Amino acid sequence: MTPLSEMIPAMPDADLKTLRANAERLLGRGTAGQIASANEILPLIEAEFAARIAAKPPAKKRAPAKKKVVVADGAEPVVKAAPKKRAPAKKKVAAAAEATAS
């Protein structure tokens, strides 16, 4: 059987996180053999996470909003900023209930 230390590079991130959580748990309440194994495997897990983070490309920054040029008949062009998205309007429940009560 393949030792766990050789399987770490091929593990998906979710499995690696679970393995780290289990190793940390065993450090607190495992047998002497489990604690020794956890102490041996935790640095390997942390090194693998560090290597994966370093290998990821940097996050892309969002491009600024484009500006809109508005031209009225015979006027100079006016540059307007792109409209910002707004939250949906709240319903006026209290006003509607009051109107029906009258």
Residue 66 inside a domain? The answer is no
Residue 91 inside a domain? The answer is no
Confidence grade of residue 79 (pLDDT, cut at 50, 70, 90):
low
For residues 68 and 11, the model is more confident at: 11
| Model pLDDT, residue 82 | 63
Q: What is the residue range of 34's domain?
A: 4-55
What distances in angstroms separate CA 83 from CA 15, 65, 67, 80, one per listed residue? 44, 9, 9, 9
What distances in angstroms separate CA 16 from CA 43, 71, 100, one per listed residue? 12, 58, 60
User: How many domains, the chain?
Assistant: 1
The mean per-residue pLDDT over the stretch 83-99 comes to 64
Residue 62 inside a domain? The answer is no
Residue 76 inside a domain? The answer is no
Is residue 25 helix, strand or coil? helix
Residue 95 has pLDDT above 60, yes or no: no
Q: Say whether pTM exceeds 0.75.
A: no
